Amino acid sequence: MDIEQKIQVLEHKLQATKETMAVVAIIAFSVFLAIPIFASVIGVGRYSEFFGPAWNTSLLYSLLVANIVGYLWSDL
């Protein structure tokens, strides 16, 4: 393999790493944002009148994170 091909392979690997890092960031931030939401469901406990579409809300915040990360990390 000549040097240009090697550089190309490296570039592809770097790109793949970047995308994987973005996914890791999305999941990490989603978990981080979901902690208080789930704590509010489980912490309130039995005989509570808590009404919250909890899982749905944390998913919406995950989508927000996914779109922000996707936007900021695009074509940089």
Partner 1 sequence: MDKKIKNAIMLVLVVFVIVAIQQGILYSVDKSIGTGNAQVIVTDANGDEEWTMGLVPHLQTMPLADANAAGLKVWATPGDYSGDAVMGVTAAIAAVMWIVWMGVFLGFPSNIKLKKEKIIGLIGISFVILILNLVILRAVADATTSLSVVKNTASHLSLALNNTGILFGILLVRIRVGGRDPNQPFMPGMGGPNPCGVADKNFYKKFNGLLIMLVATAVIEIICQFANIGVPEVAVDASVWLIWGIIFIAHFGTYPSDWKLGKRPKGIALMVILTVLTIVGFYLMQVATNESIGSGVGETRLFNAFGSYNAGLSLMLSCWFVFWTIALGSAGYCDPGECKPKPAETKQ
Among 8, 13, 14, 53, binds partner 1 (CB under 8 A): 53
Among 2, 3, 4, 49, binds partner 1 (CB under 8 A): 49
Query: Between vectors from CA 62 to CA 55 and to CA 29, what angle results, nearest 5°?
Result: 115
Among 1, 2, 4, 51, binds partner 1 (CB under 8 A): 51
**How far is the C-alpha of 26 from the C-alpha of 47, rounded, in Å?**
34
| Nearer residue to partner 1 within complex by CB, 6 or 12 | 12
**How far is the C-alpha of 37 from the C-alpha of 32, rounded, in Å?**
10
Q: Give just the sign of the alpha carbon dihedral 27, 30, 32, 35.
A: negative
- Residues of this chain that interact with partner 1 (CB under 8 A) are 15-16, 19-20, 22-23, 26-27, 30, 38, 41-42, 44-57, 59-64, 66-68, 70-72, 74-76
